[in-house]
A and B are shown apart, each in its own frame.
Chain A
């Protein structure tokens, strides 16, 4: 990756005057990921060729990663189909959505991918993924209070997974722990489709008072533009345009424009991965929160992908018509004095923010930065010219309408085609697979599924994350959802879950995405919280492949429809394309995050059977649904048929029952059913609480144990509360099958098998340590 300034060797920088005078000079737009059509569009906007610095801005701002040019036309559905809600204080388009949770509090949350960097350099890739999402939340005016992550890797026993997984986990541990943010949950999954394209999706939750909301807008001509945090270096230059917007292709990269030369190895991308300093970020967080509290910040934007280019264009564009900005690029503090204008604009150096400050508050602003040892530099002013102008030692090197880069990039209607093999895949029904019937075979199947890497105990990973810091973590892994107390006096809290299922989505991206939403919604409900809002990270292959685009459009349509049906709006999200190596794309993997409000965290429900003598009750309808199931994959290596039926009305009813039951104190435990069905859920509840259970299944044991029908949960009814709970279920039309009772030291399925808890624990807990040491 070569920044354009190095291709335009002196004398002097490429100024707007020179650009006007030398219209025919060839420019490396293709190497920067722009198409010839996009380049011509820039020339049309400016009425001349862009300068090198302007070309740098457009190349990163119009990259897939920043502009959403392939997805934008479809993402509109999230707004068009949004359910009516009064809970949203800021929605799509801001750095993160902001949700009113009552008592004057608002929370903001967002999921974001750092997939490509985490493959190239797992430790720093994952670490800076945490850092980036935390700054997004900070930019909204909120204090970051928790993180989660959804991780997907190649086969657990593949040699490269042993490089990528420990590196990613160590990176998240290093960065998140050092920031003092509890890591409260997430996902861990393995599949061959992620071998060259691991998915590292990080979520951050922030809390603020309503009045603290900050927007990314430059207002008030004459106000100062201040860059604060780390110095700018040559790291991550082109990360947005090259790494995040291109797929790995053997020895070459293929971006959303073509990349010249087939000799660029993946190694050539290494300098595009940024290096994180969580200590600097911790100081930046405390410094910004103190600045906000002092009332000296008029607008703020984090610096992530596309760095100064993105922050300046978005702040200026956010200011509205007539607002512009004048920036002195030579005032940007550098770590590498050889950086020129284009390199400064494209650098993705971490731990930086940009603030708009009234001149009268500047001294106070600088004093607070000094107290936190955070370097802060005035690099420009807000203007009323409506232009974003930048100078380099007095020469004008950028003069553009900011909206042309920030908001008015190209939008593509990419070709869409249902994949040729889709019908064959769906016709390959798992009903043809041999099923265990005898007790011993069912027992073996349970242990095989429970010990498979996708269902195994994730402690090897999560014990590297601090979940305790801040003292507000009520629930974390292995619970269904994370639960954070927001107010110690009133016990108000927020529950969060992230879920995705690439197998379901491959079989049917529309239904699969709805199932991911339903699972996260159910997980939040299983704590007793009321689901309120949704975020997402849409991980797909190349949008230039019509089959991938079909998966994407189906997924977006499915999510928008289901959000409407469940009454939970999408507040924001992230799209990650180009997760593919050569022609092999990952399974379509939308990861959905659901946030809920808990009125009294002291009444939270946890998954563990912690007391003997509670009634074990299965809520919901159980059908013979095995398409995409964990059982079919673990025992037969099979993926085909249809995913379980989507039952959104049932999900709503189930959530209502769980919230009401929690508030009334009718339950001792609740656990949602998902991968591996009732078999895995019962085993996990026994292990989490240390109590066994004895159950009798009312129908075909195999179907009841391993089917993956949606809208189900298993609960432990408190002794004496069984009748009241049964009446509650009946009033909501939720089927409730009493299966047995908690207690004992084994999982006992009447007429089928008994497994001592010790054996369950050894199988469940032994897998990851055996693989990763």
Chain B
């Protein structure tokens, strides 16, 4: 079997995952490291280039794009790279937005709802437990539905909000990606930590999986599955 394993590893390495750097992106290097650790090849994408460089998937990393002035993600949505990304995502390109990336996906209307200020109006940076709700997406297929993960939440505007009809529809269609286990730390509606598009290929997550890929520098390795899921989904695709 060694041949097959080598072939799988080589194939995984050929999976190219773009990581977009906006001015003010902060977790781009962390996201690239997570892609690498998952076996994929991170490809840096620049906000000012209308070019996705032929990548197989894209991560919009955390940070404060364009200073988060006006509203988190509101300016990034108009970046030249987004003009390429939005139609590609609508056509099925897997996209994961983490924290600020999630906010950008909502601002770009690739995901429903919005992120509002934390209920206590303070920045929250700590480990949180989340429960995977939909384990059938390209970003979560290495998890089990109901599996609990320890990830890192670090945001000032992380409270997920949507109107009641949207919230009901999200649950009904399996578009809730993950929920906080226990009380919502930031006032998110229905304890929602992440959502996805109807097909599951576009995902937004407020807690950071890329900070939970190594027990030496984070709470553990629970977050790696988001990246291995995508790499594996693309290898077998």
Contacts and interface: CB of A to CB of B under 8 A. Distances in A.
Interface in B109-128: 120, 122-126
Interface stretch (A173-181, A213-221, A660-668): A173-181
Given A173-B123, A279-B69, A485-B217, A469 B64 contact: no
B29 A279 contact: no
A473 interface: yes
Per DSSP, chain B at the interface is loop
Q: Which has the most chain A C-beta neighbours within 10 Å: B24, B33, B120, B208?
A: B24
A601 B216 contact: yes
B51 interface: no
A462 B123 CA distance: 10
Given A177-B123, A467-B125, A474-B216, A277 B26 contact: no
B217 A471 contact: yes
A367 to B, nearest CB: 13
Contacts of A467: 125
A485 B124 CA distance: 24
Contacts of B33: 471
A671 interface: no
B71 interface: no
Contact of A464 (B29, B30, B125): B125
Contact of B67 (A177, A279, A464, A468): A279
A472 interface: yes
Contacts of B152: 468
A463 B29 contact: no
A464 B211 contact: no
B87 interface: no
Given A178-B24, A180-B63, A279-B67, A474 B154 contact: no
Interface string B32-73: 010000000000000010000000000000111011110000
Contacts of B66: 279
Contact of A471 (B23, B24, B218): B218
Interface string A265-306: 000000000000111101100000000000000000000000
B157 to A, nearest CB: 12
A468 B124 contact: no
A468 B125 contact: yes
A468 B208 contact: yes
A739 B120 CA distance: 43
Contacts of B63: 180
A469 B23 contact: no
B67 A178 contact: yes
Contacts of B24: 178, 279, 282-283
Interface in A147-176: 170, 173-174
Most buried by B among A465, A468, A472, A474: A468
Interface in A43-66: none
Contacts of A601: 216
A684 B128 CA distance: 21
A474 B219 CA distance: 10
Interface in A453-476: 459, 462-474
B210 interface: yes
B27 interface: yes
Contacts of A602: 216
A371 B156 CA distance: 28
Nearest to A464: B123
Contacts of B68: 178, 279
A471 B123 contact: no
B122 A464 contact: yes
A179 B210 CA distance: 18
Contact of B125 (A170, A180, A465, A485): A465
A371 B23 CA distance: 10
Interface string B198-237: 0000000000101100101110000000000000000000
B23 A470 contact: no
Contacts of A279: 23-24, 64, 66-69
A474 B64 contact: no
A177 B154 CA distance: 9
A673 B50 CA distance: 57
B198 to A, nearest CB: 32
Contacts of B27: 180, 469
Contacts of B211: 468-469, 471
A463 B30 contact: no
A470 B154 CA distance: 13
Contacts of B123: 170, 173-174, 177, 464-466
A760 B210 CA distance: 33
Contacts of A471: 29-30, 33, 210-211, 214, 217-218
B124 A463 contact: yes
Contacts of B48: 371
A370 B216 CA distance: 38
A178 B216 contact: no
Interface in A359-389: 371-373
A529 to B, nearest CB: 15
A469 B66 CA distance: 18
18 contacts: A173-B123, A174-B123, A178-B24, A180-B63, A278-B64, A278-B67, A279-B23, A279-B69, A282-B64, A465-B123, A465-B125, A466-B123, A466-B125, A468-B211, A469-B30, A471-B210, A471-B214, A485-B216
Given A282-B26, A467-B125, A470-B30, 19 more contacts: A170-B122, A170-B123, A174-B123, A179-B26, A180-B27, A277-B67, A373-B23, A464-B122, A464-B125, A466-B125, A466-B154, A468-B125, A468-B154, A468-B211, A469-B62, A471-B29, A471-B30, A474-B216, A602-B216
Interface of A: 170, 173-174, 177-180, 277-280, 282-283, 371-373, 459, 462-474, 485, 601-602, 773
Name the 3 nearest CB pairs between A and B, nearest first. Answer: A279-B67, A180-B26, A468-B211
Interface of B: 23-24, 26-27, 29-30, 33, 48, 62-64, 66-69, 120, 122-126, 152, 154, 156, 208, 210-211, 214, 216-218
